[in-house]
Amino acid sequence: MACVAFVYLPRIAHATEADLSIYTYEDTKQLVTLVNDAAALMARKGEAAFADFQEPRSYWRHGDHYIFVYVVDGTCVFQPEEPELVGRNLIDLRDIGGRQITRGITDIARRAEPDATGWVFYLWEDRARLSPSWKAAYVRKVVAPDHKVMRSAAASSIQRPSVSSSRITSTGLSIC
């Protein structure tokens, strides 16, 4: 089982308007759609989708948004921004506040429902910034074409998300 994260994309119409109606901000809706699109591509192409996700300044990767992938045990199998993480088991990775990042992502992929989704929020130390920034990861479980490897997809943003009245109002998400 693996997780994937990706970048901001224009809408390809996977999620219905009803699915997106719980979100306040248009950019959050676009990111949820991006994760759903990435999950659909991975379900069709498996790891071959990584080549698409790798392309700089593409639908899948630009600005602060990109895709990353973890297997359920916490091993990173795709990370375009920090390729040195690929092949490493990061199940115990924590943010500066002690939150378990990878475990939160892989917990969603372990859920019984075939298209499980959820959010993971964490504080990330960015080498390009002086202070840590909040990230919001929208995660979606994906079953690969061989039905042996399960993945979840997510996208992230540098802005601090807020949750209000059971509605996610972040400006970004993650696929893992």
pLDDT digits over 67-107, tens only? 888 888 998 888 888 899 999 999 999 999 999 999 999 99
Q: Which residues contact 84 (CB under 8 A, 6 or more apart)?
A: none
Number of helices (H) and strands (E), helices first, in the chain? Answer: 4, 8
Q: Which residues contact 37 (CB under 8 A, 6 or more apart)?
A: 9, 12, 14
Task: Give CA–CA dist 152/133, Å, rounded.
Answer: 23
Task: Give CA–CA dist 141/94, Å, rounded.
Answer: 21
Q: What are phi and psi of 163, to 5 degrees?
A: -120, 130
Burial class (CB in 10 A: 0-12, 13-18, 19+), 165: exposed
Whether 136 has a pLDDT exceeding 70, the answer reads yes
Residue 109 confidence class, pLDDT cut points 50, 70, 90? confident
pLDDT at position 167 is 35
The structure tokens listed for 102 are 């990878």
Give the right CATH number for 2-168 from 3.30.450.20, 3.40.50.720, 3.40.50.740, 2.60.120.620. Answer: 3.30.450.20
Task: Give CA–CA dist 18/54, Å, rounded.
Answer: 31
170 or 77: which leads in pLDDT: 77
Q: Which residues contact 127 (CB under 8 A, 6 or more apart)?
A: none
pLDDT digits over 18-42, tens only? 578 888 888 788 778 778 888 888 8
Q: Poorest-confidence range of 2-11, 110-119, 134-143, 163-172?
A: 163-172
154 close to 10: Cβ distance less than 8 angstroms? no
Looking at this protein, which amino acid is placed at residue 14? H
pTM value is 0.74
Whether 114 has a pLDDT exceeding 80, the answer reads yes
pLDDT at position 145 is 67
Pairing of strands 133-143, 163-164: unpaired
Residue 159 confidence class, pLDDT cut points 50, 70, 90? very low
